[in-house]
Structure 1
Amino acid sequence: MIEITEEQIADWELSKAAYHEAAHNMVDERFGGAGDTVVWRSRSGNPEERAWRGQSHPRTCPEAMGAIALASRFSAPDLPANWRMLVGIAGLVAEEILDDDTDDAGAIADAIHLKISD
Structure 2
Amino acid sequence: MDTKSIGTNGPSIHTGVTSSRVKKSDKAENANESQAQGTATQARDDFKVSLSDRAQEMMEARQTALNLAKNTSPIREDLVASLRERIKNGTYELDPGKIADGILKEAIRDELAKNPEA
Pick the TM interval, shorter chain. Answer: under 0.3
Structure number having the greater strand percentage: 1
- TM-score when scaled to structure 1? 0.25
Structure number having the greater helix percentage: 2
Higher Rg of the two aligned structures? 2
Query: Relative contact order, CA 8 A, sep 6+: which one is greater?
Result: 1
- TM-score when scaled to structure 2? 0.25
